[in-house]
A and B are shown apart, each in its own frame.
Chain A
Amino acid sequence: MGIRFVLMVNKQGQTRLAQYYEYLNLEERRALEGEIVRKCLARNEQQCSFVEHRNYKVVYRRYASLFFLVGVDNEEKLSALHQLCNNLDLPIYNKSGEGFNHQLIHPKVEAGLPNELAILEFIHLLVETMDRHFGNVCELDIMFHLEKAHFMLEEMVMNGCIVETSKSNILAPIQLMDKA
């Protein structure tokens, strides 16, 4: 369940934080952010929090004016799809070049898919942690303390794996830095 990126985006679609766990160049990042944000912002409260985009499964959650998006590897599914598509001789993408070819009736979904609910919990934990640190966290806190938000993420996620889930452990080094 490797996390591939964490994005924070406001309602206007402006990125407020972008952390990638695999290297993408600037154009790729911009395109990815644009597409995903457009997809997620178009959805409403009654719709589920999961969106599939290319080889990512995006889990998102909205807090006030800020959207938290986490992109998780959907590689497993993708490669299984690839194989299936090869077998059936189908193009994996639609003609529009976007998204999966939903023609596939039996996607070979395997274990190793991300646990979407756990990612949602992770997002909530992240928000709670920031809330504890900034006190009633809002978009501006993240804007003006971007590096701190990054440090928190750094404590929580390494290499796309969630390594720390205790709020006080996450915040300890940051509080030390603030004192210094």
Chain B
Amino acid sequence: MAGPSLMDSLFQRSVDDIIKGIRLTPPGTESTFIAKSLDEIRREIKSTDPQTKATALHKLTYLHSLHGADMSWAAFHSVELSSSSAHSHKRIAFLAASLSFNPSTTEVILLLTHQLRKDLSSSNVHEVSLALSTLSSICNPDLARDLTPELFTLLSSSKIVVRKKAIAAVLRVFEQYPDAVRVCFKRVVENLENGDMGVLSAVVGLFCELTEKDPKSYLPLAPEFYKILVDCRNNWVLIKVLKIFAKLAPLEPRLGKRVVEPICEHMGRTGAKSLAFECVRTIVTSLSDYDSSVKLAIGKLREFLLDDDPNLKYLGLQALAIVARTNIWAVLENKELVVKALSDVDVNIKLEALRLVMCMVSEDNVMEICRILISQALKSDPEFCNEILDFILLTCGRNFYEVIFDFDWYVSFLGEMARIPHCQKGSEIESQLVDIGMRVKDARPQLVHVARDLVIDPALLGNPFIHGVLAAAAWVSGEYIELSRNPFEIMEALLQPRTSLLTPSVRAVYIQSAFKVIIFCLNSYLKLNGNDPSYPSESTYSDLKSDYPGRFETVASQPLSDTEPDNPNMVVTDGQKPSVSSRMHHLTLESLVALVNLVETNLGPLAGSNEVEVQERASNVLGLIKLIKPKLLGCLDTREGDKVNGEPKASEMVELIFGAFSEDLGPVSLNAQERVPVPDGLVLKEDLRDLEEICGDIELPLSTSFSLVKLQKMDATSNSEHHSKEEFEPSTESTSLLAEHRKRHGLYYLPAENAGIISNDYPPAHDPKDKASDETEDLVKLTEQSLVIKKKPNQAKSRPVVVKLDDGEGFKVAAKAPEFKADLISGAVQEVLLGNEATSSSRRKSSKKSSKRREMDESNVGVPESKNEIVNADMSEIGFPSSGRRKHHGHGKERKHRSSGKDKEHDHKDKQKSEHGHGKHKSRQRADGALAAQSPVIPDFLL
């Protein structure tokens, strides 16, 4: 590329030209214009003339920042120009640097070190402040380390502008190079007593940021902050001080007592909404124990809520959400305002209101609130409608449906939600339906009823969003078919032609459910006909009736033929109509044959389906039918003439399969697998690689037997929860395997008779089972008692028991990884605040080395050797409950210096606390120590 010519310099386009040019280019061609300009810039920027260079860089910065042009290639030119003697060029260079440099990857930043150092030491205020601004935006660890001495000097500059900016820049330097804290922190603290608002604002802003990361380290500075809180009248500063106290107050109860009064005073006095809001927020977040002030704050909040300004309304709602955690009455008091906000024009306000409404939910009002919300959801746009559904599902499902008292209502409500036109929450409704089915035994009859209504409605099959719900409904219908009023009707619904619209995985659930239904019908028939002498006729049904009184009351079942007028497959069943819609004890051989025929016709074509899951399940059912049907027909012909010959085999099989299905599936703890003891002699961690060499040829056939189909099937089963739940192969072999499995690991399942137990103690793996159940029975009594007490007297029904497992489900405690950098900062800060600060620059030079050493020293902190008070402080630091081990960074090292520096340190303290005095500083230290050691001697924290 040609170098810049004189012509280029003379006729260089200015920034204005570029801007005008972009505005004049027809839309769509900007990029070509910009590309052309960039070519020009590339040439011009190499010019030796600083003016030309500066203009080029200026243009480039403009294109970079507004039009996204890459300028990383020009980084060096910025560095070059930054040494220009003209201030305007320097500004352009530093602006370019701060807008485009990436502190962690731009390598030329190091080349700026010298220039920045020079500028920081300049006598020109503007140069210094420019350098400080640049430093704060491009600072990296090297720059921070190299420029710390200059920054240290500037922190006590006599020029306010410089001092202010130095304080603002120091935060960035601390973050990048924590050792700088040791050097600069004391000077920063001194500035807390500066009378200038600019300086004060900067230093309070700095502490505001620092306390956010680790408030504990700054507790000793509370008196200074308190003084600002009381004396200062600048709203910006006050807001930041309030933020600091919001962090500090929860750590030290006596502090809260001191600050609550001035904060309330500010709240009452100020006309500035921002300050008033900050006061409110500080009180509700950190001082919620002080009832009178909380009341004041709530009063103020109410003003916000009543205001027409949407901003205040939004913030008011947000603050109310904070209050809700500790003082729910405040939300209830403003209930009507919150509900009103649900229909606000602003979706953000609506969401906040929704959040609050859900905070108010308790078992007494859950039905009412859900009713309000659903009517709101029906009126809302699809997006908000789904937000509402989300909230309802989460709130109601929280902590094992703790707010739900009436599960019959809730399962019907779930069905209702699924039918809302915009509903996209199918998967959540699906899992709750199945979950309730498994956990809440008493809710099953109603659940089956709801599921029937869902499965039977052909219109729902067209909505892909609720296929999940349908899968759950189909599973429920199949699993709890014995509770159904009319299995024939369910069967027809499961096989209706529109099921072809379902996804294969859902369809597989449908087929599996149909399987369960047919087994159930066959088994019932066998029992009804006295096949087994131990089963008197209709015994099952009379049992059922006594179990679920009211279930067999007549409810007009919807005639299915109406819903499927054009289905040729239904002809058979249409003919059988009277028997189909009648009660079960009209179960006749004819109706059974019709049922089997129906299944056969509908599933027949699916045996050739491309979908593995569908195909396999259909084949299972068809296989069974093939076995059963001849017997049935034989029966039909001879009319029980010689059933002794044929039937026993078929009936035996049916019974076995029925047995496999009828076993209750309980929820399984997530940890169940871990609790299975490893059997003796089973080596889990053995390296099996040698095995290949030894028996490579034996392995071959094994691997080939893994067909693709099998693999796919396994994938498919792991996809969806219910599949695995009903994955039991209906062969006698697997039944016995299953039975054995249960026998062996029975205690990992919730036994059916104990299913209702809310047990907190998971039976340990080696405990004898009966003992565990004894304990749980006691627990049941306990919980029943507590329920009775809790229950409102007008509650007619008692809450059905919800099966819970202990720890296994849900709550994983997230390990909190403390931020390493912040750690180092607070470590250093504590070191300084405890009075053993390192001030000499000689220390600083060795600090890099020492930071390594510190980590080693951590291990041997435990042996205090010097003055008691400091040791106390050390110990107290260790004693803070959540402070963790990081607190004693560097103490080990400090001790080495203490003996020599002891007297000097006290001098420092005297100087530092010219007004508040040395004694207080010490007493504060002691207070820290005393607090943690639970000592009765507690000096006043804030004099």
Contact = CB atoms under 8 A, between A and B. Distances in A.
B446 to A, nearest CB: 26
Residue among B65, B92, B313, B811 having the largest count of chain A Cβ atoms under 10 Å: B65
Residue among A14, A147, A166, A180 having the largest count of chain B Cβ atoms under 10 Å: A147
B315 interface: yes
Contact of A109 (B88, B247, B321, B813): B321
Interface string B653-688: 000000000000000000000000000000000000
A33 to B, nearest CB: 9
A137 interface: no
Contact of A151 (B91, B239, B358): B91
Nearest to A116: B315
Contacts of B15: 144
Interface string B192-226: 00000010011001101100100000000000000
Interface in A64-116: 76, 82-83, 86-89, 102-107, 109-113, 115-116
A117 B274 contact: yes
Interface in B713-747: none
B165 A144 contact: no
A115 B277 contact: yes
Nearest to A44: B345
B348 A47 contact: yes
B87 A177 contact: yes
Contacts of A177: 87-88, 91
Interface in B152-206: 161, 164-165, 168-169, 171-172, 198, 201-202, 205-206
B649 interface: no
B16 interface: yes
Nearest to B309: A48
A18 B61 CA distance: 11
B330 interface: no
B348 A158 contact: no
Contact of A118 (B136, B239, B347, B813): B239
A153 to B, nearest CB: 10
Given A48-B349, A158-B168, A163-B164, A147 B91 contact: yes
A180 B89 CA distance: 12
A77 B685 CA distance: 43
Contacts of B66: 14-18, 146
Given A103-B394, A146-B65, A165-B236, A89 B318 contact: no
B934 to A, nearest CB: 27
Contact of A26 (B68, B172, B315, B321): B68
A163 to B, nearest CB: 5
Interface of B is mostly: helix
A102 B390 contact: yes
Given A51-B348, A102-B387, A102-B391, A164 B277 contact: no
Interface in A148-180: 150-151, 154, 158-159, 161-166, 169, 173, 176-177, 180
Contacts of B172: 159
A109 B326 CA distance: 12
B558 interface: no
Interface stretch (B279-287, B848-856, B907-915): B279-287
B346 A105 contact: no
A49 interface: yes
B580 to A, nearest CB: 42
Given A116-B311, A163-B202, A147 B348 contact: no
Given A102-B391, A112-B212, A18 B348 contact: no
Contacts of B324: 106
A98 to B, nearest CB: 12
A25 interface: yes
Interface residues of B, number: 88
Residue among B247, B310, B813 having the largest count of chain A Cβ atoms under 10 Å: B310
Contacts of B254: none
Contacts of B198: 163-164, 166, 169
Contact of A48 (B92, B169, B246, B314): B314
Interface in B120-137: 126, 129, 132-133, 136-137
A166 B239 CA distance: 17
Contacts of A151: 91, 95
Residue among A16, A143, A180 having the largest count of chain B Cβ atoms under 10 Å: A143
B241 to A, nearest CB: 12
B281 A111 contact: yes
B412 to A, nearest CB: 23
A105 B347 CA distance: 16
B145 to A, nearest CB: 18
A106 B352 CA distance: 11
Nearest to A20: B99
B699 interface: no
A23 B95 contact: no
B901 to A, nearest CB: 33
Contacts of A121: 274
A180 B85 CA distance: 13
A146 B246 contact: no
Contacts of B70: 26
Contacts of B278: 115, 118
B749 interface: no
A143 B19 contact: yes
A29 interface: yes
Given A103-B390, A161-B171, A23 B103 contact: yes
Interface string A1-39: 110000000000011111111010110011000000000
B346 A87 contact: no
Interface string A125-152: 0000000000000000001101100110
Contacts of A88: 810-811
B876 interface: no
A89 B812 contact: yes
Contact of A146 (B62, B285, B345): B62
A159 B206 CA distance: 10
Interface in B50-82: 58, 61-62, 65-66, 68, 70
Contact of B391 (A14, A103, A111, A120): A103
Contacts of A102: 351, 354-355, 387, 390-391
B62 A23 contact: no
Contact of B285 (A103, A111, A169): A111
A46 B310 contact: yes
B16 A120 contact: no
B102 interface: yes
Contacts of B87: 177, 180
B168 A161 contact: yes
B236 A118 contact: yes
B165 A173 contact: no
Given A107-B355, A158-B136, A177-B91, A47 B164 contact: no
B926 interface: no
The 3 closest A-B pairs by CB, nearest first: A111-B246, A117-B274, A86-B814
16 contacts: A29-B68, A47-B345, A87-B813, A88-B810, A105-B359, A106-B325, A106-B359, A116-B311, A147-B58, A158-B136, A158-B168, A158-B169, A159-B169, A163-B201, A169-B161, A177-B91
Given A47-B310, A150-B99, 4 more contacts: A109-B321, A117-B273, A120-B274, A180-B87
